[in-house]
A and B are shown apart, each in its own frame.
Chain A
Amino acid sequence: MNNSENFYKRLAADYVLAKSAELSRELSECASEPAVDEMTTALKRIDAKLHAAILREKETVRRKRFVTWGALAASFLFVVFAVSLVSNLPRNIINESAPGRMATDTAAPANGQNGGDTGNEHILGVAEAPEAPPPSESTAEESEADTDPAEIPPLLVHLSLFAPDGWQTTFIDYDGDIAIYHLQSSTGNRVAVLAGEPIYDPDGGEFREIFINNTPAYMRVESTYSILFFERNGLQLILSTDYEYEDLITLAEFWI
């Protein structure tokens, strides 16, 4: 490492060291100061947003893994197929073009069997059937949660039974505080539905009020996501998506 790189490294280390004390003091201030209502609510909403986002992330990773393993399995099968094809080819050619050789093979059957058919198996080394892969443990493990269905708010369970045509439920999860329900729209976009104690304030000004089937709902459209919420049976139902907000309207129209 040259001198200038060392200089920058030392500079950065000194900076972090000095700032650590400052941040540590700020951390203590944050921990000791009484939380104002706005902050408590804001922190709750961060919990909810983060929860939804991480579950989405997890789903994406699982899909990627599935695609990767699928591609690997397909490649493996293709290679096996190609090897068996290539290995069979000369043998068949030899068999057809050199009857004497074939006669030799069939004249000395192994274990008293007719060696004609089994010969290729020995040549290819595939006489032993490949063992079936062990059942995937991760499938069960990853299949969302140790969630006890009895704990999920009944409203969410009820709603999860009804989705517009072409929509699918992907999973429901409940951690004792917030329940989250994931769906996939007919176009393949994902929507998360959170149900729980109200965490968004309809009068907060961040949302635009709209009416769906004469029921007030509140909508916020950002460049990277959209949120729509409304209340049912004292619970706040929050619909969010990383895609177009139309899916949220479709779902809300179906449920309201």
Chain B
Amino acid sequence: MIILLSFETEAEKDKFEYVYEKYKRLMWRKAFDILKDYSLAEDAVSEAFIRVYRHFHRINLPDSGQTASFLVTIVKNIAINLYHKRNKTLPTDFDEFEQASDFNLEESVASKDETERAVKLVDNLSEELRAVFLLKYAHDLPHKEIGRILDISENNVTVRLHRAKKKLADMAKEVRQA
């Protein structure tokens, strides 16, 4: 692996190299699933690692699910942005990019498993909203840092977070009422 000169300590450098080697294929696959283009998927992965590099202090345990989720959240978000750029579909409203909903209310109600229910609820958010929501609540990042990672303004982070929470709250309410 060809990286790096830029870390303060050898340990940091080794950690980055380890994370890079471990996750680059998975991230490439995630990006490729969205973009269906080798070259753009490469761009997404390299851009994702640049952002990871800038916020590397956030990665404490390279093997943890938390880290995998963090990296995948970032690369998917970048891939979606690249997809929009390539297809010249400029976002006018976040709802426009909601995923085709496969949310099944009955299934959610039937599920007694909290974790399974959480997956169903959060999976029903669009990628843009989910990324902000997870970076905020699963990774405990401040709005400013989320903005930097996702390359959006702090204000936009607040708006997306508000929409994500509202949508989750509405869905949770529906589930309870059902």
Interface residues of A (CB under 8 A from B): 4, 7-21, 23-24, 26-27, 30-31, 35, 38-39, 42-43, 45-51, 53-55, 57-58, 61, 144-145, 173, 175, 177-178, 204, 206, 222-223
Contact = CB atoms under 8 A, between A and B. Distances in A.
Nearest to A196: B2
Interface in B123-165: 123, 133-134, 136-138, 165
Contacts of B20: 50
B79 to A, nearest CB: 13
A59 B60 CA distance: 26
B58 interface: no
Contacts of A46: 24, 28, 42, 45-46, 49
B6 A8 contact: no
Closest A-B pairs by Cβ, 8 of them? A20-B65, A12-B137, A14-B118, A12-B138, A49-B46, A30-B25, A23-B68, A58-B6
B138 A16 contact: yes
A50 B46 contact: yes
Given A45-B42, A50-B49, A206-B39, A19 B119 contact: yes
Contacts of A144: 5
Q: How large is the interface on B (under 10, 10 to 19, 20 to 34, 35 or more residues)?
A: 35 or more
Nearest to B133: A12
Contact of B72 (A23, A31, A223): A23
Contact of A24 (B49, B68, B116, B137): B68
Contact of B115 (A18, A27, A38, A50): A18
Given A9-B137, A11-B137, A30-B25, A47 B116 contact: no
B137 A4 contact: no
A18 B116 contact: yes
Contacts of B25: 30-31, 35, 39, 43
A54 B4 contact: yes
Given A15-B119, A31-B25, A39-B25, A178 B138 contact: no
B68 A15 contact: no
6 contacts: A11-B137, A12-B134, A14-B114, A16-B69, A16-B134, A31-B25
Most chain-B CB neighbours within 10 Å: which of A15, A42, A206?
A15
A55 B138 contact: no
Given A46-B28, A46-B42, A178 B2 contact: yes
A42 B39 CA distance: 7
Contacts of B42: 42, 45-46, 49
A20 B41 CA distance: 22
B105 interface: no
B145 to A, nearest CB: 16
Contacts of B123: 15
Contacts of B119: 14-15, 18-19
B46 A11 contact: no
Contact of A47 (B2, B65, B134, B172): B2
B24 A43 contact: yes
A228 to B, nearest CB: 15
B18 interface: no
B8 to A, nearest CB: 10
A53 B5 contact: no
Contact of A11 (B26, B43, B68, B121): B121
Contacts of B50: 50, 53-54, 57
B85 interface: yes
Contact of B2 (A24, A58, A177): A177
Given A8-B137, A20-B64, A177-B2, 19 more contacts: A4-B169, A7-B172, A8-B133, A8-B168, A11-B168, A12-B122, A12-B138, A14-B114, A14-B115, A15-B138, A24-B65, A27-B22, A31-B25, A35-B25, A42-B42, A53-B47, A54-B6, A58-B6, A178-B2
